[in-house]
């Protein structure tokens, strides 16, 4: 579907957007020339990367005239109403084959670990133990305990506060 969105309209400035213009310099030039030829239009800027048209015009130029000119010039099927979302152009690409295989392998490994340990371990616990062990071996081998970066400390402080005080915060009522 070929659609047009009215991004904003002020008395002397209107911005429109359509995917029809994206990466099509010829269409951008054509619509810019068409709009610039209209009486009352002072300046037209078309951005092929975003598919937007910025029109600076006299206050007397009606929005309907600008929209109709763009609609007919670019063969637009649908003008979006205020608040209406643009239709999805294409379906989202499927997850890659590698991502699917990794997810299946992780689920299978997690299931096998839970079965072998009779539910006392899972892949998350094994990963946690591995990271703690790697950190401990680094401290033992270097003999130094490095200070974490400030952003880690800030996150841990916030997280600890929310875990310990979350129930109290949730119980309080706003007055």
pLDDT tens digits, residue range 98-149?
A: 888 898 999 999 999 999 999 899 999 999 999 999 999 999 999 999 888 9
**Whole-Å CA distances, 10 to 1, 14, 83, 147:** 27, 6, 17, 54
Confidence (pTM) = 0.52
Torsions phi, psi of 54, nearest 5?
-110, 120
- The mean pLDDT of 158-173, rounded to a whole number, is 76
Domains of the chain: 3-79 (3.30.1360.10), 97-151 (no CATH)
Closest CA to 31 of 62, 14, 50, 52: 52
Strand 78-79, strand 3-10: pairing: parallel
pLDDT tens digits, residue range 18-76?
A: 999 988 999 999 999 999 999 999 999 999 988 999 999 999 999 999 999 999 999 99
């Amino acid at each position: 579907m070929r659609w047009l969105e009215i991004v904003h309209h002020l008395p002397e400035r209107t911005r429109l957007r359509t995917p029809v213009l994206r990466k099509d310099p010829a269409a951008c030039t054509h619509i810019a020339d068409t709009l610039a030829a209209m009486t009352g239009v002072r300046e037209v800027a078309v951005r092929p990367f975003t598919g937007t048209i910025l029109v600076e015009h006299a206050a007397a130029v009606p929005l309907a005239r600008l929209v109709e000119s763009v609609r007919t010039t670019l063969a637009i099927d649908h003008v979006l109403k205020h608040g209406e979302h643009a239709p999805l152009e294409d379906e989202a690409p499927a997850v890659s084959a590698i991502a699917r295989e990794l997810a299946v392998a992780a689920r299978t490994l997690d299931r096998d670990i839970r079965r072998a340990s009779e539910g006392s371990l899972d892949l998350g616990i094994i990963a946690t133990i591995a990271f703690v062990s790697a950190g401990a071996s680094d401290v033992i081998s270097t003999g130094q305990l490095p200070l974490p970066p400030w952003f880690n400390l800030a996150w841990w402080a916030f997280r600890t506060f929310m875990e310990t005080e979350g129930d109290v915060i949730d119980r309080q009522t706003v007055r």
